Amino acid sequence: MAEALPGSLWTIPWPDRFCNMLLDKLTSEAATHRLVGGALCLDFANTINGHSSAAPHEYLAGYSDLVVWSRRISLLTDAEAERLLRVANERSREAATAFQRAIELRETIFRVFSALALDRSPKSPDIAALNEARLNALNHSTLSPTDDGYTVEWIDKSALDRMLWPIALSAAELLISPDLSRLHKCEGDGCDWLLVDTSRNHLRRWCSMDECGNRAKSRRFLARKRKRRTR
């Protein structure tokens, strides 16, 4: 059964058409997508599997999926997700542009970190694009006082691409973090998900044991069985 989004999106008092769209989205793949990357930017890169294959598995079919996924990963509150979906409904062309920008950022993140996971150097234009996204994110943040100090807040909260700002910062943080040495690409057949291995023994090879791990184990078992038969 699909996992429901946390929170109260079910209770939105909107016109039926809009509510129905949202209810559909709550059970979409964007709402139930596995989060196994260990870093926000990698979970975002993992919203598609088989980036360069002929038949990739896409979890984000459009802007509303992007909002639902962002809510799932707590980049947005219920109220913020509702607001963005409402704005997107009114300004569909802008929403389409924001979605296109999101996919471009996702693919840039994938190219950079999949190169690094394979001990290759990322291409300069990709690092430049990541830096531009990082600067854009910083331009949309400000220091704000709290009861016991200061915090960094996002400004322009109704911007349709606001979920891309923390994702861009996450990519920049991972690039300069010691965790980069634990970056891997899943070894599952046809799986190109990226992950930071935070396991105690640093032997994680698959995005998840339930999916790619078990498939690899059964393949090895069948191969051994075939080998024994041919002896």
- Interface residue with Zn ion among 98, 169, 194, 207 (CB under 5 A) is 207
Q: What angle do CA 109, 114, 119 make, to 5 degrees?
A: 130
Please report where in the chains the tokens 């690899």 appear, as a residue. 216
Residue 50: CB minimum distance to Zn ion, A: 10
Considering only residues 122 through 151, tell me which ones interact with Zn ion, judged by CB under 5 A.
none
Nearer to Zn ion by C-beta: 28 or 208?
208
Please report where in the chains the tokens 């008092």 appear, as a residue. 13
- Closest CA relative to residue 194, chosen from 61, 88, 48, 20: 48
Residue 1: CB minimum distance to Zn ion, A: 22
Considering only residues 162 through 191, tell me which ones interact with Zn ion, judged by CB under 5 A.
186, 188, 191
The residues with which 196 forms a beta bridge, in sequence order, are: 183
d(CA 139, CA 154): 9
Residue 110: CB minimum distance to Zn ion, A: 14
Nearer to Zn ion by C-beta: 113 or 193?
193
Reported for 90-95, long-range contacts at CB under 8 A and 24+ positions apart, including other chains, are 91/160, 94/160, 95/63, 95/160
117 contributes a contact to Zn ion by CB under 5 A: no
Nearer to Zn ion by C-beta: 162 or 184?
184
Instruction: Return phi, psi of residue 132, to 5°.
Output: -65, -40
Nearer to Zn ion by C-beta: 163 or 194?
194
d(CA 134, CA 188): 31
Site string for Zn ion, 208-227 (x = CB under 5 A): ----x---------------
Residue 142: CB minimum distance to Zn ion, A: 39
Instruction: Return phi, psi of residue 203, to 5°.
Output: -115, 20
Question: How many chain residues touch Zn ion (CB under 5 A)?
Answer: 6
Residue 52: CB minimum distance to Zn ion, A: 15
Nearer to Zn ion by C-beta: 41 or 95?
41
d(CA 37, CA 193): 8
Residue 118: CB minimum distance to Zn ion, A: 15
Considering only residues 40 through 79, tell me which ones interact with Zn ion, judged by CB under 5 A.
none
Residue 213: CB minimum distance to Zn ion, A: 8
d(CA 74, CA 60): 17
d(CA 47, CA 59): 5
Nearer to Zn ion by C-beta: 132 or 187?
187
Q: What does the binding site for Zn ion look like in residue numbers (CB under 5 A)?
A: 186, 188, 191, 193, 207, 212
